[in-house]
Amino acid sequence: MQKIAVVYKSKTGYTERYARWLAEDTGADLLQANYVKVEDLLRYDTIVYGGGLYAGGINGVKRITRHMKELGNRKIIVFGVGVSPCRPEICDKVEKYNFPAEIRGKIRFFLLRGGFNYSKCNLVDKMLMNMLKVKLKKAPDTDKDAKGMLACYDHPADFTNREALKPILACIRNEKTGEEA
């Protein structure tokens, strides 16, 4: 039986929710990234890392990517959680931004839709989100993603969906699906 660790870094709770669901569904150990060292991960066969998206970067993912050599031939799965719809072109862009070409083939990457609640942001994130808001207001009326994001500033949105984890669960279990990223 494989030993699985689900490691996560979450600021507003959406990534944590997905991580908890994955741990429940697989019997994995659930670990907060802030308290995990690479040595702690060496006892696992499969390591799943989840982090929220911030300006295209996956929060804390370098905790994994910096240590690919030490992690050896373990199965590494990473999921990013953002507010945008999970379209293939967005997934590809996030993957290329976060993983150097030489390790992309060693990591299975998935993009999940989380949510946005401005009131849960810390002061620094609120400042950054206010700058984004100015940019979003300048987007053309045809940009539905921008308009949807603007609406979330006043009306928090939660798009988390346990069903979205099916491709990740299949990957953990070495099952084939047509939905894998």
Region 88-110: mean pLDDT is 93
Torsion of CA 130, 132, 77, 42, to 10 degrees: -50
Rounded distance between C-alpha atoms, residue 74 and residue 41, angstroms: 10
Question: What are the tokens at 147?
Answer: 């308009």
Task: Tell me the CA distances in angstroms from 156 to 13, 47, 169, one per residue in order.
Answer: 13, 31, 28
Residue 102 phi, psi dihedral angles, 5° rounding: -70, -15
Domain coordinates in residue numbering, the chain = 4-115+158-172, 118-155
Q: Are strands 107-113 and 57-58 parallel, antiparallel or unpaired?
A: unpaired
Residue 176 has pLDDT above 70, yes or no: no
Q: pLDDT tens digits for 3-58?
A: 999 999 998 899 999 999 999 999 999 999 999 999 999 999 999 999 999 888 99
Rounded distance between C-alpha atoms, residue 63 and residue 75, angstroms: 15
Candidates 3.40.50.720, 3.40.50.360, 3.30.10.20, 2.10.109.10; correct CATH number of 4-115+158-172?
3.40.50.360
pTM of the model: 0.88
- Burial letters 78-98, b for 16+ CB under 10 A, else e: bbbbbbbebeeebeeebbeeb
